[in-house]
């Protein structure tokens, strides 16, 4: 009985070590498989027979059995690539994918993703990557990083609606196009040479010298304002609602008063004129007027050190005579304390597009207020410089920006120029950040968050079932898959307690390699081979014993 028992015992060893070699072989075969997780094999003894011994009762083992196969979920080494859609998860979690025409979800650490011809982002096995569509809302009250009010953006996702990440199939899909945005703010920071002389000093009779540029403007000419009539000009391209580009120019010239010259009580006053191409001016008041194209005019007051301390602004009444200074009233202010002008652009197709534009020369009023309804440009006295200066101080509580316009003793120049509009743009590139946000980069310089990739994990990942193709499936023993966003995505999109925290971050242009340790695998292979060899020796020895027993019978 003992000889036969040893044969069966050795057979369990041969079977166990054979299975062990299969596991080791599978690990080695996948040493270069992206995102592969190695498996370790664990053995346990089989039940024991109770036998009587000289000392009482003992047990004799009946061999070995396969106890468990444990997947090693430690992260593998990371390899840099040149593809932005090669993604690696650093830390806990799995990417979520779904096969075509199926609602079933699988989980993978292999982030070699590519878009197919139908616009789906898929893994190497053709399963669609899952994520959440980013909804973008424009907030007109938001404050941009430049410090002025602008069209701010807020982003959100519907965490309960996980979808296939898909761009679309043609250029008409809105994810392939960045819609145009009209200009609502312009910023022109200049230095105006304090030694410059007044070139536009040809005021009309009884007209204030603060509006010499306005008086010199003639919309009927090819060049409405002769270059000999102003000291400096700063052009800027702005955009209407349809994305059409229009040129707006800011003209500057020092104000000269016959009685006091350029200096008025220790200050220097410059006049400015903000104008567009008269042929594109769609305002009703501008039609047929020699002042067509003029959007805003006013003055900038600098102290003795060349710092901007106050400003005035006048815009035309919508019903008066645009050529008459009496039709130019104080400009309204935005909520952030900058003066507003109201152009109406005529597009090439004849469409008239309008909207207010905030004009920022570097000085804001911290207490925005409505203009004096009785004050017009015609009320500014021509000869009483002190009174005129007081009336032109329309900013009641001035706050000067760090990069505000100046009037220093150096050449006139544009220090900084910006506007917040842009034309239509086409999708040119894609990127994925640490939070898994897929961002489109467009030809108009804009960026737009399109999707955020879903990441999942479970309390007992060792119970996940391998499905092949670098994928795992959920089982009842997993404890339930939980979903969230990588990195700081949960806080970024304000997901709250429903989202799983503690997930890893995503690295773009990076792939996680297999975590198989070749040195350990070869050591295990040698030990397994020796174990198999030893068990085979038990079989052969037991066979010899049986032969001897048979010979004893003869």
Confidence of residue 43 (pLDDT cuts 50, 70, 90): confident
- Alpha-helix residue ranges (DSSP H) falling in 116-263: 212-216
pLDDT of residue 357: 96
Q: What is the mean pLDDT of residues 495-508?
A: 93
Residue 165 confidence class, pLDDT cut points 50, 70, 90: very high
CA distances from 529 to 44, 484, 534 (A): 18, 44, 9
CA distance 511 to 376: 68
Write down the pLDDT at residue 389.
Answer: 74
Instruction: Assess whether pLDDT exceeds 90 at residue 54.
Output: no
pLDDT value, residue 57: 74
b/e 351-382 (16+ beta carbons within 10 angstroms → b): eebeeebbbbbbbbbeebeebeeebbbbebeb
Please write the tens of the pLDDT for every residue from 371-405. Answer: 888 888 888 876 566 677 778 889 999 999 999 99
Residues of the chain with pLDDT > 90, as a percent, come to 61
CB neighbours of residue 319 within 10 Å:
8
Is the confidence at residue 363, as pLDDT, over 90?
Answer: yes
Q: Mean pLDDT over residues 326-352, rounded?
A: 91
Confidence band for 14, pLDDT divided at 50, 70 and 90: confident
Task: Identify the weakest region by mean pLDDT among 291-300, 337-346, 541-550.
Answer: 541-550
User: Residue 149: what pLDDT?
Assistant: 35
Percentage of residues in the chain having pLDDT higher than 70: 90
- Backbone phi and psi for residue 195, each to the nearest 5 degrees, phi listed first: -95, 5
Asked if the model's pLDDT at residue 202 lies above 70, the reply is no
Q: What is the pLDDT of residue 65?
A: 79
Decide which of 553 and 306 is more confident.
Answer: 306
Contact 298, 266 (CB under 8 A): no
pLDDT over 80 at 369, yes or no: yes
Q: What gap in Å lies between CA 543 and CA 6, rounded to an integer?
A: 10
Q: DSSP code of 222? A: S
312 pLDDT above the threshold of 90 = yes
Mean pLDDT, residues 505-532 taken together = 89
Residue 141 has pLDDT above 50, yes or no: no
pLDDT of 543 reads: 67
Domain residues of the chain, as ranges?
Answer: 3-65+518-553, 78-179+432-512, 185-197+226-419
| Torsions phi, psi for 379 (to 5 deg) | -80, -15
State how beta strands 185-191 and 357-360 pair. parallel
Question: What is the structure's pLDDT at 217?
Answer: 95
Q: Is the pLDDT of residue 147 over 60?
A: no
In the predicted structure, residue 142 carries a pLDDT above the cut 60:
no
Which tens digits make up the pLDDT trace of 408-450?
999 999 999 999 999 999 999 999 999 999 999 999 999 999 9
Q: What is the pLDDT of residue 226?
A: 92
**For residue 261, what pLDDT band results from cuts at 50, 70 and 90?**
very low
Look at 248-262, 415-429, 433-447, 483-497 and tell me which has the smallest mean pLDDT: 248-262
pLDDT of residue 203: 52
pLDDT at 139: 60
Q: Which of 135-139, 484-488, 526-530 has the lowest mean pLDDT?
A: 135-139
pTM equals 0.76
Chain mean pLDDT for the chain: 87
Residue for token pair 């955009």: 239
**228-235, long-range: CB < 8 A, 24+ apart:** 228/199, 229/199, 229/200, 229/202, 229/253, 230/199, 230/200, 230/273, 231/192, 231/193, 231/196, 231/197, 231/199, 231/412, 232/190, 232/192, 232/193, 232/196, 232/412, 234/188, 234/190, 234/414, 234/417
pLDDT of residue 170: 56
pLDDT digits (tens, 9 = 90+) for 450-474: 999 999 999 999 999 999 999 999 9
Residue 1's pLDDT is 47
């Amino acid at each position: 009985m003992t000889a036969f028992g040893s044969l069966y015992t050795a057979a369990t060893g041969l079977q166990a070590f054979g299975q062990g070699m299969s596991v080791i072989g599978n690990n080695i075969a996948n040493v270069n498989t992206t995102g592969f997780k190695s498996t370790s094999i664990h053995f346990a003894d089989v039940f024991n027979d109770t036998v009587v011994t000289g000392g009482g009762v003992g047990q004799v083992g009946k061999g070995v059995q396969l106890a468990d196969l444990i997947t090693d979920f430690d992260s593998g080494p990371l390899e840099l690539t040149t593809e932005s859609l090669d993604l690696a998860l650093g830390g806990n979690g799995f990417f979520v994918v779904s096969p075509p025409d199926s609602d079933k979800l699988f989980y993978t650490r292999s982030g070699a993703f590519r878009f197919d011809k139908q616009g789906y982002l898929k893994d190497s096995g053709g399963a669609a990557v899952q994520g959440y569509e980013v909804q973008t809302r424009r907030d007109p009250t938001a404050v941009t990083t430049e410090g002025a009010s602008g069209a701010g953006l807020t982003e959100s996702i519907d965490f309960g609606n996980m979808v296939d990440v898909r761009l679309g199939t043609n250029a008409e899909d809105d994810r392939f196009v960045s819609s145009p945005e009209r200009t609502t703010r312009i910023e022109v920071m200049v230095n105006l040479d304090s030694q410059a002389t007044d070139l536009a000093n040809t005021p009309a009779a009884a007209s204030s010298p603060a509006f010499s540029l306005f008086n010199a403007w003639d919309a009927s000419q090819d060049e409405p304002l002769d270059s000999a009539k102003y000291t400096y000009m700063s052009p800027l391209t702005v955009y209407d609602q349809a994305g059409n580009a229009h040129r707006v120019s800011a003209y500057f010239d020092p104000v000269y008063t016959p009685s006091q010259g350029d200096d008025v009580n220790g200050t220097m006053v410059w006049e400015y004129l903000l104008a567009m191409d008269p042929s594109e001016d769609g305002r009703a008041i501008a039609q047929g007027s020699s002042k067509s194209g003029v959007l805003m005019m006013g003055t900038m007051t600098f102290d003795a050190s060349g710092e901007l301390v106050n400003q005035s602004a006048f815009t035309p009444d919508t019903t008066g005579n645009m050529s008459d200074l009496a039709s130019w009233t104080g400009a309204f202010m935005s909520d952030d304390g900058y003066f507003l002008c109201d152009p109406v652009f005529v597009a090439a197709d004849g469409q008239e597009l309008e909207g207010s534009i905030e004009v920022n020369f570097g000085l804001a009023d911290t207490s925005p207020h409505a203009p004096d309804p009785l004050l017009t440009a015609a009320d500014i006295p021509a000869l009483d410089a002190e009174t005129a200066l007081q009336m032109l101080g329309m900013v009641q509580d001035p706050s000067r920006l760090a990069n505000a316009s100046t009037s220093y003793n150096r050449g006139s120049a544009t220090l900084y120029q910006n506007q917040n509009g842009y034309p239509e743009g086409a999708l040119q590139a894609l990127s994925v950040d640490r939070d898994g946000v897929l961002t489109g980069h467009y030809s108009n310089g804009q960026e737009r968050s399109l999707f955020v990739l879903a990441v999942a994990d479970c309390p007992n990942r060792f119970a996940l079932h391998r499905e092949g193709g670098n994928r795992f499936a959920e089982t009842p023993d997993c404890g339930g898959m939980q979903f969230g966003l990588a990195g700081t995505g949960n806080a970024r999109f304000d997901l709250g307690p429903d989202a799983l925290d503690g997930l890893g971050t995503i690295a773009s242009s990076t792939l996680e390699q297999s975590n198989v340790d070749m040195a350990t695998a070869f050591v295990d292979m040698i030990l397994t081979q020796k174990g198999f060899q030893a068990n085979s020796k038990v079989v052969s020895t037991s066979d010899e014993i049986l032969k001897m027993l048979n010979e004893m019978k003869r």
